[in-house]
């Protein structure tokens, strides 16, 4: 069903892109890693009993990390801070009940810190015991730094860090939330507890460690949900900070991840050379720094995998630009991902919350405006978008309620426009607009980052991959449907909005969106040889939507040329300034195109 793509090459898509560690830095593994950390703790102790602190992100496999430490440092006394001082899980559940709510999917963002999960008196007692131990001590666990700071003693600090995507994979395999007894709980509820509570507190805590951390451990590789071919590596804090700073000053890619879904298709499996096993791949998240990771690589090819969110937290001005940082804080506001329905099914009919609603109901400060860029499309592809002219809203809502009971299916085409879709079309979807991608489409979704706030209105009568109906939120959806976005309005505002900005030197620049209600600006550049760009002080997110291979180069030689293949998403930090995208010596395509997203009103010179 796929449209032809004669200028692309299957299998060139790089699934494990890397970021270089600074010259001379190396990845330590095994006993050598822990010995280096212990040596630093001993040096700092200056004759006192040394103290080593291993502060682990919730979700890390603490027993296995402790086992590795004990094997490498048999003379050191290990103390599990969580066992010694964490509140009982019943107390924690009481404290976060209002954030979790009774809903299966949605909660309310927590502003708690890690200290909210600990007994302060027990932490004080633990600090006294450590001070009086008279022998080398390792404090280990999420929040271990809380106890260490109470001792007043010098110590070496290790951060055992990991990406949210790996945490989700472990939870699907039966892992629990932090200290919770919920191995068999619904995965959506596990994710909700992490998203709204645990990860928020963990990130606040982690941000206090970055400037002080002496070593960073790849906790993704310890107890991984799927087998990994690397040892769990550790790098020095200086190497970590230097690598992150370097990434903030040149183009880079995060590590994409792929996931099957009930409506998933076959395009990515074929075009991106993905492994067989899952029946389909529905999603590819290739620019969601909150969940993706970075692979930091030394000169010998050894890597550590760390959350790409660490880059956002530690280099927000260089990465985002001063104006974007001032507007969003240390958050990455733009998301690129793939939605593959080729030989699959329709996405759910859905709507995203309006800004005021998401603020008042869930505590998020901006909403999920989005768009569908058609990377490829079958002859019968459509995008459902906006209600039809003259729709009876009460009749539509009643039909949706009846469909939810299973009595009869919802007649989507009676109420919702179905626009034909072809390759390189761009459909704009401001929050409040009813929408869905139909079958036989390959969508590059360009959106704002809040990424779980989708109110499903109708899921075509399907069960999820777990055999359970996927949650439908008609109550939320009804409160957010923008009924005035009918056929006429949608055609005028959201479909076919391509405007030529310039056409010179063999480069055609077009504005393809987004709608004026959305904060993201998207430009498409067509070229045969090269196209000049400038970040103009704000982060750029791009995808090569046409052509086999290009490279991103600096006119001043500020960074080495960076190779990009068809369908790869890449980030150009605000700090880069001018850059050029050009064909490589190996390129065989006659023409190329990129789509570039940035935040409106944050470019240098904007008023």
**Quick one: pLDDT at residue 6?**
42
The structural domains of the chain, with segments of one domain joined by +, span 19-251+290-314, 316-493
- Give yes or no for a contact between 539 and 574, defined as CB atoms under 8 angstroms apart: yes
Closest CA to 452 of 195, 260, 236: 195
- Give yes or no for a contact between 259 and 339, defined as CB atoms under 8 angstroms apart: no
* 446 vs 444: CA distance, rounded Å: 6
Which residues fall within 8 angstroms of residue 536, CB to CB, at 6 or more apart? 598, 603, 604, 605
Which residues fall within 8 angstroms of residue 6, CB to CB, at 6 or more apart? none
Closest CA to 318 of 539, 22, 561: 539
3-class secondary-structure state, position 285: strand
Find where tokens 């590596």 sit: 233
Encoded tokens for 551: 């490279």
Residue 469 sits at φ, ψ, to 5 deg, of -55, 135
Residue 181 sits at φ, ψ, to 5 deg, of -105, 70
**Quick one: pLDDT at residue 226?**
86
**Quick one: pLDDT at residue 9?**
55
* 273 vs 261: CA distance, rounded Å: 18
Give kind and range of the element (H or E) at residue 413. Answer: helix 412-415
* 471 vs 331: CA distance, rounded Å: 28
Degrees to nearest 5, angle at CA 300 with 295 and 302: 35
What single-letter DSSP state applies at residue 195?
I
Encoded tokens for 485: 């976005």
Domain 19-251+290-314, second-level architecture: 3-Layer(aba) Sandwich (3.40)
Find where tokens 């008023």 sit: 607
481 HSE (CA, 13 A, CB side): 24
CA 363 to centroid of chain Cα atoms: 19
> What are the DSSP E strand ranges found in 153-310?
156-161, 215-218, 233-236, 257-259, 283-287, 293-297, 303-307
- Profile the chain (607 residues) by mean pLDDT over runs of 10 residues: 44 92 97 98 94 98 97 97 98 97 95 97 96 95 97 97 96 96 94 97 98 98 89 97 98 97 96 93 95 96 97 98 96 97 97 95 91 97 98 96 92 97 97 97 92 91 84 95 97 96 96 88 97 98 98 97 98 98 96 97 72
What single-letter DSSP state applies at residue 248?
T
Domain 316-493, second-level architecture: Sandwich (2.60)
Give the burial string for 543-565 (b: 16+ CB within 10 Å, else e). bbbbbbbbbbbbeeeebeebbbb
Cis, peptide link before residue 514, omega less than 30° from 0: yes
pTM value is 0.95
Find where tokens 């992100």 sit: 57
């Amino acid at each position: 069903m796929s449209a032809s793509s004669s200028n692309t090459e299957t299998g060139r898509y790089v699934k494990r892109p890397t970021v270089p560690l600074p010259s001379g830095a190396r990845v330590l593994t095994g006993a050598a890693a822990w010995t280096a950390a212990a040596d630093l703790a001993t040096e700092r102790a200056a004759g006192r009993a040394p103290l080593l602190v291993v502060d682990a992100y919730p979700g890390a496999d603490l027993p296995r990390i402790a086992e590795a430490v004990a094997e490498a440092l048999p003379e050191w006394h290990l103390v599990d801070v969580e066992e010694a001082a964490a509140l009982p899980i019943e107390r924690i559940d009481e404290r976060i009940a209002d954030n979790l709510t009774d809903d299966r999917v949605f909660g309310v963002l927590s502003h708690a810190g890690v200290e909210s999960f600990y007994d302060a008196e027990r932490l004080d007692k633990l600090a006294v015991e450590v001070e009086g131990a008279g022998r080398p001590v390792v404090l280990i666990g999420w929040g271990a730094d809380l106890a260490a700071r109470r001792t007043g003693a010098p110590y070496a600090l290790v951060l055992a860090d990991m990406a949210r995507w790996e945490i989700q994979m472990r939870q699907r395999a039966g892992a629990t939330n932090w200290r919770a007894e919920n191995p068999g709980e619904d995965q959506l509820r596990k994710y909700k507890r992490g998203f709204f509570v645990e990860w928020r507190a963990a990130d606040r805590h982690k941000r206090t460690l970055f400037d002080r951390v002496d070593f960073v451990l790849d906790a993704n590789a310890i107890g991984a949900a799927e087998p990994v071919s690397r040892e769990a590596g550790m790098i020095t804090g200086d190497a970590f900070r230097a690598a992150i700073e370097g990434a903030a000053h040149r183009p880079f890619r995060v590590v994409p991840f792929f996931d099957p879904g009930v409506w998933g298709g076959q395009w990515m499996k074929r075009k991106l050379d993905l492994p067989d096993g899952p029946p389909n791949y529905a999603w590819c998240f290739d620019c969601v720094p909150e969940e993706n990771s970075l692979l930091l690589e030394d000169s010998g090819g050894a890597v550590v995998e760390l959350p790409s969110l660490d880059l956002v937290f530690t280099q927000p001005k260089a990465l985002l630009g001063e104006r974007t940082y001032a507007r969003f804080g240390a958050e990455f506001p733009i998301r690129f991902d793939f939605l593959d329905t080729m030989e699959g099914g329709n996405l759910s009919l859905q709507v995203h919350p309006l800004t005021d609603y998401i603020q008042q109901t869930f505590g998020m400060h901006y909403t999920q405006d989005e768009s569908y860029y058609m990377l490829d499309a079958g002859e019968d592809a459509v995008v459902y978008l906006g209600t039809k002219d003259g729709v009876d809203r009460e009749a539509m809502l009643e039909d949706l309620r009846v469909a939810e009971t299973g009595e009869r299916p919802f007649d989507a085409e009676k109420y919702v426009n179905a626009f034909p879709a072809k390759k390189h079309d761009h459909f704009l979807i401001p929050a409040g607009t009813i929408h869905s991608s139909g079958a036989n489409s390959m969508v590059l979704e360009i959106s704002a980052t809040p990424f779980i706030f989708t109110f499903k209105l109708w899921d075509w009568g399907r069960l999820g991959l777990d055999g359970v109906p996927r949650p439908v939120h008609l109550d939320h959806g009804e409160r957010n449907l923008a009924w005035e976005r009918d056929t006429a309005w949608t055609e005028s505002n959201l479909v076919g909005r391509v405007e030529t900005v310039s056409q010179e030197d063999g480069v055609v620049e077009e504005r393809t969106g987004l709608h004026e209600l959305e904060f993201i600006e998207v430009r498409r550049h067509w070229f045969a040889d090269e196209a000049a760009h400038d970040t103009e002080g704000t982060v750029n997110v791009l995808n090569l939507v046409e052509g086999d291979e290009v490279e991103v180069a600096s006119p001043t030689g500020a960074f080495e040329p960076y190779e990009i293949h068809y369908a790869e998403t890449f980030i150009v930090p605000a700090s880069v300034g001018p850059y050029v995208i050009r064909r490589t010596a190996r390129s065989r395509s006659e023409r190329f195109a990129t789509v570039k997203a940035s935040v409106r009103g944050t470019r240098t010179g904007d008023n």
